[in-house]
């Protein structure tokens, strides 16, 4: 579906009175993990010129009838100490190191196994095993193989997230 069709579709939904659910997502990861590329892919923006994030980027993206306010927070070591300040009212967590934070209890975890377009990329199953995702009993989780550069797998991860939020609200 093209951008014009998506725009028209969202206008029609609003005219029909369908209200959009608004969620906050925090993208965390190590420096050069592809967070900004992922954000730009979600926003249907050009990914050919990406520079390291100094601080954070914020974009609003509409998908599956939900408005996602996505915070892309820089991954440099000197910024990581500030990550916890961005977590209040977060609806999606993308970094397992913060799993025990009290204000994130029950928040679904989506881990993008990015850069799958590279021959050196570890398979998603290997990453899941290395992160011991099977031990997370208090969080619904998903690991999604993707390439933020090509967009492959990105929408699959977002669909899982939106479905998990809808099911959680039931």
Residue 141 dihedral angles phi and psi, to the nearest 5°: -140, 160
Per DSSP (E only), the strands in the chain are 21-27, 56-63, 66-73, 109-113, 141-145
153 is in an annotated binding site: no
Residue 76 annotated to the active site:
yes
53 is in an annotated binding site: yes
49 is in an annotated binding site: no
34 is in an annotated binding site: yes
d(CA 26, CA 90): 7
114 is in an annotated binding site: yes
167 is in an annotated binding site: no
Q: Which long-range contacts (CB under 8 A, 24 or more apart) does 2-9 make?
A: 3/44, 6/62
Of these residues, 76, 142, 144, 155, which one is catalytic?
A: 76
Residues serving a catalytic function are 76
Residues of the binding site: 29-36, 53, 75, 114-117
Residues of the binding site for GTP: 29-36, 75, 114-117
């Amino acid at each position: 579906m093209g951008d014009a069709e998506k725009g028209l579709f969202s206008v029609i939904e609003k005219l029909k009175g369908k209200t959009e659910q608004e969620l906050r997502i925090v993208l965390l990861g190590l420096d050069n993990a592809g967070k900004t590329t992922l954000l730009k892919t979600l926003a249907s923006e050009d990914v050919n010129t990406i520079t390291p994030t100094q601080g954070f980027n914020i974009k609003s993206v509409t998908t599956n009838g939900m408005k996602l306010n996505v915070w892309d927070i820089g991954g440099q070591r000197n910024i990581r100490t500030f990550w916890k300040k961005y977590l209040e009212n977060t609806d999606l967590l993308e970094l397992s190191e913060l799993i025990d934070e009290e204000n994130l209890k029950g928040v679904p975890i989506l881990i993008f196994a990015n850069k799958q377009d590279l021959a050196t990329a570890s398979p998603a199953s290997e990453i899941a095993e290395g992160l011991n995702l099977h031990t997370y009993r208090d969080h619904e989780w998903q690991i999604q193989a993707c390439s933020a550069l090509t967009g492959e797998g990105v929408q699959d991860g977002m669909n899982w997230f939106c479905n998990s939020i809808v099911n959680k609200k039931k």
